[in-house]
Structure formats: C-alpha cells, structure tokens
Amino acid sequence: MSTTIIRNGHVIDPANKRDEVGDVYIEDGKIVASRSEIRNPNSEIEEIDASGLIVTPGLIDMHVHLREPGFGHKETIESGARAAAAGGFTTIVCMPNTSPVADDPSTIAWIKSRAATAACVNVLPAGAISKDLAGEELAPIGSLVQAGIVAITDDGHCIQNHELMRRAVEYARMVEVPVLDHCQDYNFVGNGVVNEGYWSTLLGLPGWPAVGEEAIVMRNILLAELCDHHIHCQHVTTAKSVRLLREARRRGVKISGEVCPHHIALTDEAIQNFDTNYKMNPPLRAQTDVDALLEGISDGTLSVLASDHAPHADFEKEVEFDAAPFGIIGLETALGLFLDLLVHKHRKIDIVRLIKMCTVEPAKLLKLEAGTLSVGASADVTLLNPDLEWTVQIDKFESGSRNSPFDGWKLKGRAVRTIVGGKTVWELD
Amino acid sequence: MRIVESTTTSLSGNAQAAMRWNRKDLLGLRELSVDEINFILETADAFKQVGTREIKKVPALRGKTLVNFFVEPSTRTRTSFELAAFRLSADVINISATASSLKKGETLKDTARNLEALHADILVLRHSSAGAPQFLANRLEASVINAGDGAHEHPTQALLDLYTIREKRGKIAGLHVAIIGDILFSRVARSNIFGLVKLGACVTLVGPSTLVPREFEKLGVQISHKIDNVLPSADVVNLLRVQHERQRKEYFPGTGEYTRFFGLTKERAKLLKPDCLIMHPGPINRGVEIDSEVADGLQSVILDQVTNGLAVRMAVLYLCGGIANT
C-alpha cells in the first residue's frame, strides 16, 4: 500500500472541469477523492509540495516513433519512454513503421511485453492499416485490435489507393478502431523534400507542395462522411488543410487534425543552410501556413497537439539533404514549445485548452481511459511550471537520438515532475 | 602569388587580394558580393592571358593536390577543372561516382574525410544533391569548389557566362539577358540569376509555365512564356539544355512542341538585335533548343564560353586554394 498527496497545486483537470488550487490524492496507483477516502491511513504518506505548479492529468502524445523493433540504434522503447517522461508525457502512442512493421498481432504482443518491462510510461501501439505499410492489401486490423492496438495508421506512408482506404475505414468502423492518416499524395509530392515555395526555388531542392497534403485531407473528409467513421489527419501543416478541416467539422464530419511543435515554431526559411535537422515530413511550411495553424488551434479546428517524435542516428542525418531521413525528435521539447508559443508568445490558447489538447482530446479520439484525474483512474499526473524559463540542451536528452533543431532555444514553461501509476518516473533536477 | 602578379597588372599584391577574397570555398553566387564576383572576373583576366602563351603553365598551385570528385557524370566541367589545375601546376586526381566507394555504402562525409586524410587541398565536387558542397565545406579544412549541385548552383558556369558577357559587351549592368529553357531544374539558371541581378543586368526567364514557375519572380527577374516578345530587346540570350528523356515527361509535351514554342530557330534568330550574344552552357541539343546554323552563327559565343571557363576556373582555384593554404 502506498499513498501520495500532491499538495497545494493549481489542479487543472478538464475532464472533471476542475480548475482550482487544491490537493490530489493517490492510493495504490489510483486517484482517490479525498484524504478521508484513503483506505489505509496508517501507510507511509509521500507528500509532494506542488505550490506554484500546475497539476494536470498525465499528458498524452499520440504520435511517437519508438523505433523498436528493428531500429534500436535510433531509439528503444525504454529510452523513448524516458524521453516521454522527461517531456511530461505519461502515455504515448507508438507508430507502426518498425521492422518488422506492426502489422501482425505477434509484433503488437512483442511491443506490449517490451513496454511492460522496460517503459516507464504507458506505451500504446498503433497498428498498420496495410500489410508492410505497402498500401496494397489490408493488415489484419481486427486481430490487431484484439492484440491491443489503439489506432490504425500507415504513418510515414499514405495509402494512395482510395478504394483500399475506403474499405479500411469501413472495416475500422466495424472493429471500432480510429483511423489516423499521414496525408501525402505521392504523385503531387514525388521526390519532394522541402516545402514547394520561395526557398525550394532558391535552393533548387525538390518541392513538396501543400496540395500534396490537401488532396488527401479532402479525400479523408469525403471518406469520413461516406463511411461515417472518424479519420484523424496527422501533423497538419498547410493553410488550406486547416480551411478544409474547419469547414468539414462545422458540418459535423468525423474528422480531426493534429499539430506538431516544429510546424508552428519554424518556417521553411530554416532550411537555407541545408541542415537536415530541419528536414521532416511533412516539411516546414511558409509563414502564412504557420499563421493558419495558429488560427486553427485557436478556434478548435485542430484539436490535438503531438510531437511526431522521430529519432534518427547522427550518422544517418549527417548526409546530403535529399538523402537524409525525414524527422526530428520532439518528446522533450514539445510541451515547452507549445507552452512558450501558444500560451505565452502568441497567446492563441490558455493553459486549460493546451492541457485539453494533450489529454481529453486525444483520449476521446482514441477512447482511452487516460487523460483524467477522475476517482479510480490510473494516477498518471504531470506537474508543470508554466513560467519556468529553461534552455534546451540536446546533450541532456533522455532520447537515444539527438536530431533536434531546437538545441539552445530558450523556452518558457515545462514539466517538472511526471507520475505514472502513482510513481514518480521523472523529476527535473 | 608572385607568379600571377608577373602576369597581370590588375593585381597589386597580397594585401589587396586578401582584402577582396577570403573564402576557402566557392559554393555559389548567391553568397558572393558584387566586389567578390568582380574580383574573380579580374583575376580570370590575368589567367586568360596565360592560355595564349606558348608555355601555358604557372606554378601557382605547385605541390597542391586537387581532387575532382564527381558524384554525377560530367565530361566538360571535369575536363575544364582538370586542365585549369594542370595549368596551375597542381597534382590532379579524378574520382567519379561509379569508381568511388560511395557505391559501396560509404557516406559522402567519410569519403571526403578520407580524401582529406590523403592531404587533398582542393576538392572540386559535382553532386546530384543540392547543398552537398556546403555540407562538405562545413566539415573539411580543404577548399570545396562547387562544380554543380543538383538544381542549386553551378557557380563557375555562371562566372564564365558573366566573364564572356563582360568581355564581349564591355559591361553587364543595364544589359537585358534572356535565359531560356528548363529553369526549374537548372543550377546554371539559378547561379546566372544571382550573378546577373547582383551586377545590375535585367533578366527575363523564358520557358514553359511548368518549367518557369512564378516563384522565380521573387528573385528579381521577369518571366515570359512568349519568346517572340522577348528576343527583340535582348542583349544576351542564354539557352539551356532541354531534357525530356528522364523525369521531365510531366512538365512539357515533348521536344517537338518545345522547339515550336521556345526553340531559337533561324526565323526567330532574325528577331534578335545584330549585336545580341547567343550563349549555351552545353552540351547543345542541335535542333531542339537551338537551330544548328544559329549555334554556329556569328552571334554565337558558345566556344568562347568554353575557353573563358578555363580562365575563370583557374582564377577560382587560385583564389580559394590560396586561402586554404593560409
């Protein structure tokens, strides 16, 4: 029996509409209502002084690449989970583009068993939509659901065959699993590596045009309507994608979108020195796109914040720009960037909305029990200091990789303590 | 340095040279100042004269090792650099992509560091990836000279184009230069645009809308899709090689239609001012972007470009190699 009391924090628990200074009680890894509800008052009580801090349900990052099985030199489930904890996340959803691809129940079982022994946060696997992410035939989606996936996606790839995608969404509706989609039309995008625009023109780098994303966002809106099932557009980046999503959501279409920190922190101007830490998919866009994303966050069109944490080894990234793999790590900088940019700098949302976008919104989408401080819920809690000024130091990261463009950035706000199942798994030095 | 001074009156000594040139690498024209571009052109004047002597060699880079590292096929640019290096008395080795260990999975960085471990002083890099020369320049002590990187820059080609225009017309500022053809995929076009705009020329890009996107207007140039409207006022036309065989099939319907709309045919050439220069970076597709007679005509300076390329590359190797020494 263990008991913890988090005292005098500013508790923000959107699921229960709680927003007040108060205490949070934890017994045996679960949230309990009050001191009087603690069944064993004689057990040793750990008291955490949270005065001056915000106490929130443990944050959820629904877009993470953990690289295991297959690419442990980039990240392991263990190191990725530690990075999540250091970033304030208690639940992460790992993408299926591993080796082997997570398109088979045995791979899902392996990930879950590895996570159970090695991960300090909750690791929830997403399964593939198509076998081997090849976009040609359906993965055994029902069996994957039975094995414990929380979503299906071909992330990193995108099913080009609209008929196959239609059947996948119909099938997903039957087995009640949400569909996440990386929106990229291969014909439009071709060998594009950076946003098609001024900088691609200047630098002669192959362009990845906005329409390559928008065409698939449009496709997904049509399929969500046709199949009456939810489709979530991952890492939305363009102004027209935001407009399409806004219009469709107003009509009640089951469609949503998420935003990654780099797509609001940076524009494609950052690529001018061919630094591959600014190469990600979808690419950094123009300022007008960044402005539209901020508006989409502000008016609720974009409902989820996620990192798209994508670790790569130095030797893989330190190559010619068009030969480098896409992606940057984000678990340890995402919350800091979101707080700094959305709450402090641009004042687009308040901290309550930010917490919602990292808790109840992804929890609702994925039908998770996480993201709440309800009585009886697993005691996953994040303590934030929204005003703490800190400097990003990649050499201090828990992640197995270092491919971040944010080294040296000064940010305001971060997690200071991460509690999973009642146990502190990470604390700021 | 002494050797070159004896060949020219335009250089007055080490101090002045150091003031006007302090780069170990030549990566592109976008990063160069007007003064730096002019200094290269002036230095090339001195070296051009060397080529007319009976003994066409100076010991400026004697004892230096130059590596022509071509990770994309090229004959004329590689040959020009090789000859330029010979005339500066450098030792030269050529490595091409098929012969190099890149095919065996070694990274570009490792291959280049191996070359540097063999005390290569100057690396001339041709690469299909935009930014590859900058990538190496940031990581090597040796000079890196960009001999063409993807669709990004081809600085020595643009410098030899500028040199040729200046030589034939006595100036660059105020001239109207039409660059015609596949602009989108052309590193020659980009480097020319950067150089010409800096030196005060008025540039019009001409070609199919798919290969000359409007985004280029932000680089300070005009765009036209009607060649007949542009030719009468042009002082220089620079025709780019049009390729349809590889990945260009989505961009225009074919060479026949290209020639009909954008080829410099005999008839169209009559629209040109008599003193308009006709340039082409080569290799020419006779009958596609330019009629054979026009390519060989009196207004054509295509072979002068090749000759001047040697002088310009000697100047670049000399200037950058000199910085790497110090």
Q: Is A316 on the interface with B (CB under 8 A)?
A: no
Q: What is the CATH number of the domain that holds A346?
A: 3.20.20.140
Q: Give the domain range for residue A40.
A: 3-54+377-427
> CA-CA distance, A423 to A386, in Å (whole number)?
22
* Residue B66 φ/ψ, nearest 5 degrees: -115, 135
- A372 occurs within a structural domain: no
Interface residues from chain B to A (CB-CB < 8 Å): 30, 107-109, 127, 129-132, 134-135, 149-153, 185, 187, 190, 213, 215-216, 218-219
**Structural domains of chain A, count:** 2
What residues contact A34, with CB distance under 8 A and at least 6 apart? A25
Q: Is A202 on the interface with B (CB under 8 A)?
A: yes
- Interface predicted TM-score of the whole assembly (ipTM), two decimals: 0.91
- What's the token pair of residue A234? 């991952």
Q: Are B130 and A205 in contact (CB < 8 Å)?
A: yes
- A313 occurs within a structural domain: yes
- A35 occurs within a structural domain: yes
Please check whether residues A30 and A102 belong to one and the same domain. Answer: no
C-alpha distances in Å from residue B230, one per residue of A56, A294, B172, B198: 66, 44, 18, 21
- The b-or-e profile of A61-94 (16+ CB within 10 A means b, else e) is bbbbbbbbbebeebbbbbbbbbbbbbbbbbbbbb
Please check whether residues A17 and A113 belong to one and the same domain. Answer: no
Q: What is the pLDDT of residues A224-267, one digit of tens each?
A: 999 999 999 999 999 999 999 999 999 999 999 999 999 999 99
Please check whether residues A303 and A393 belong to one and the same domain. Answer: no
Please check whether residues A193 and A291 belong to one and the same domain. Answer: yes
Residue B222's SS3 state is: strand
Residue B200 has a CB neighbour count (10 Å cut-off) of 12
Strand B91-96, strand B122-127: pairing = unpaired
Q: Give the predicted TM-score (pTM) of the model.
A: 0.94
* Chain A residue whose CA is closest to B250: A187
Instruction: Name which of B133, B93, B126, B130 is nearest B109 in CA terms.
Output: B133
Instruction: Name which of A251, A259, A263, A262 is nearest A232 in CA terms.
Output: A259
Please check whether residues A16 and A125 belong to one and the same domain. Answer: no
* Domain finish residue from A314, A334, A366: A366
Q: What is the pLDDT of residue B105?
A: 75
Please check whether residues A195 and A183 belong to one and the same domain. Answer: yes
- A230 occurs within a structural domain: yes
Q: What is the pLDDT of residues B40-68, one digit of tens each?
A: 999 999 999 888 888 889 999 999 999 99
- A371 occurs within a structural domain: no
Interface test with B, best of A288, A320, A321, A322 (most B CBs within 10 A): A320
Torsion of CA A27, A29, A34, A38, to 10 degrees: -20
Q: What is the CATH number of the domain that holds A406?
A: 2.30.40.10
* Domain finish residue from A333, A366, A399: A366
Is B97 a residue whose pLDDT tops 90?
no
C-alpha distances in Å from residue A260, one per residue of A234, A267, B133: 9, 13, 31
Cis preceding linkage at B283, omega within 30: yes
Residue B127 has a CB neighbour count (10 Å cut-off) of 24
* Domain finish residue from A314, A338, A366: A366
Q: Is A197 on the interface with B (CB under 8 A)?
A: yes
Q: What is the mean pLDDT of each run of 10 residues along chain A (429 residues)?
A: 91 97 96 85 87 98 97 97 98 98 98 98 98 98 98 97 98 98 97 97 97 98 98 98 98 98 98 97 98 98 98 95 96 98 97 98 97 97 98 97 98 98 96
Residue type (1 letter), A249: R
Please check whether residues A126 and A270 belong to one and the same domain. Answer: yes
Answer yes or no: are the C-beta atoms of A409 and A330 closer than 8 Å.
no
Helix pair B76-87, B302-325: axis angle to 10 deg: 50
Please check whether residues A381 and A402 belong to one and the same domain. Answer: yes
Percent of chain A surpassing pLDDT 70 = 100
Contacts of B135 in chain A (CB under 8 A): 274, 319-321
Answer yes or no: are the C-beta atoms of A365 and A224 closer than 8 Å.
no
Interface test with A, best of B215, B248, B249 (most A CBs within 10 A): B215
Instruction: Indicate which residue of A308, A340, A387, A429 is catalytic.
Output: A308
- A292 occurs within a structural domain: yes
Please check whether residues A64 and A158 belong to one and the same domain. Answer: yes
- A144 occurs within a structural domain: yes
Contacts of B215 in chain A (CB under 8 A): 197-198, 201
- A15 occurs within a structural domain: yes
- What's the token pair of residue B153? 């820059």
Please check whether residues A72 and A187 belong to one and the same domain. Answer: yes
Please check whether residues A82 and A155 belong to one and the same domain. Answer: yes
Answer yes or no: are the C-beta atoms of A256 and A245 closer than 8 Å.
yes
CA B201 from chain centre, in angstroms, equals 17
Please check whether residues A322 and A396 belong to one and the same domain. Answer: no
> CA-CA distance, A196 to B241, in Å (whole number)?
23
